[in-house]
Amino acid sequence: MKPKIEITKDGSSTLLHPKYKAHYHSTSGAIEEADFVYLKSGLFYFLSTLQSQEIVQSCSILELGFGSGLNAFNTLVKTESLPLTINYVGIETFPVTMDIINQLNFPEELMVPEQQNVFNTMHEVSWDVPHKITPRFTLEKRNHDIFNLKAVNQFDVIYFDAFGPTEQPELWTASIFKIMFEALKPNGVLMTYCAQGAARRAMQSVGFKVDRLPGPPSKRHILRAVKLA
């Protein structure tokens, strides 16, 4: 079965997974959530606050749950005017087929319809190989699960956008957050929409400094975890 396409309250698309019965993005606004949680509270926080004492020329991002490609494409769009090179790795165990991708409206809703081909390319390129999507944005999609990630001090920012603890409890454990902790560089940031207490405690147990932040209008709280230097 293929995921079902739905339109969220801000006009942008989301998908409903047929197995987990879970949405890929908030039904209250897919782009609104992506902007607030992963860009504003994650990437831009890292760039403006933790690295304020030096000029950041490149940033490595890991996304758990590449899915529809919204977070990757939104990151490309929102950083293309910056003097910044992005190296983006997206992990996905359930790749979305192009017939579904072609029906998503992210370029239009992000007001960059001229970049439809860029969005399509991000989904069409082969897996497990880095591809230069634009001069400053390199994408590597990995078709495996997070248990197979072997990375140490490699990433600056992690977008933890897996399905929630109810749907995939195995991804919200201390053992998974230990993998994430080791993958981050010192002062690296892990950002997630989930503010569940058990997830917060699991992050703290492996060494993260965790803050519960106000969420976007549709959500009370989100979590930001930092690997302190």
Q: Answer yes or no: are the C-beta atoms of 63 and 90 closer than 8 Å.
A: yes
Write the DSSP string, 6-45.
EE-TTS-EEEE-TTT--BSS-TT-HHHHIIIIIIIIIIHH
- Give domain status of residue 21, yes or no: no
Report the CATH number at residue 73.
Answer: 3.40.50.150
Residue 51, pLDDT score? 57
Cα(78)–Cα(136) distance, integer angstroms: 12
What's CA 46's distance to the chain center, in Å? 14
Cβ-contact 171, 64 below 8 angstroms? yes
Tens of pLDDT, residues 181-204? 999 999 999 999 999 999 999 999
Taking the C-alpha atoms of residue 171 and residue 227, their distance in angstroms, rounded to an integer, is 19
Number of structural domains the chain divides into: 1
Confidence check: pLDDT of 56 > 90: no
| pLDDT band (50, 70, 90) for residue 53 | low
- C-alpha 225/C-alpha 216 separation (Å) is 17
- Comparing CA positions, the residue from 167, 166, 165 lying closest to residue 202 is 165
* pLDDT of 52 above 60: no
For residue 38, what are the domain limits?
Answer: 32-96+126-227
Q: Tokens 């880095």: give the residue.
A: 130
Sequential DSSP letters for 91-159: E-SSPPPHHHHTT--HHHHTT-GGGHHHHHHHHHSPTTS-EEEETTEEEEEE-S-GGG---SS-EEEEE
**Tokens found for residue 96:** 């979305």
Decide if 73 is inside a domain.
yes
C-alpha of 209 from chain center: 19
Handedness of CA 26, 31, 32, 37 (dihedral sign): positive
Indicate whether 120 belongs to any domain.
no
Residue 67 phi/psi, 5° resolution? 50, -120
Domain annotation covers residue 64? yes
Strand partners, 142: 91
The answer to whether residue 20 is domain-embedded is no
- Identify whether 3 is part of a domain: no
Does 218 have pLDDT greater than 90?
no
Let me know if residue 169 belongs to a domain. yes
For residue 161, tell me if it sits in a domain. yes
pLDDT tens-digit readout, 109-130: 999 999 999 999 999 999 999 9
pTM score, whole prediction? 0.96
Share of the chain above pLDDT 90, in %: 91
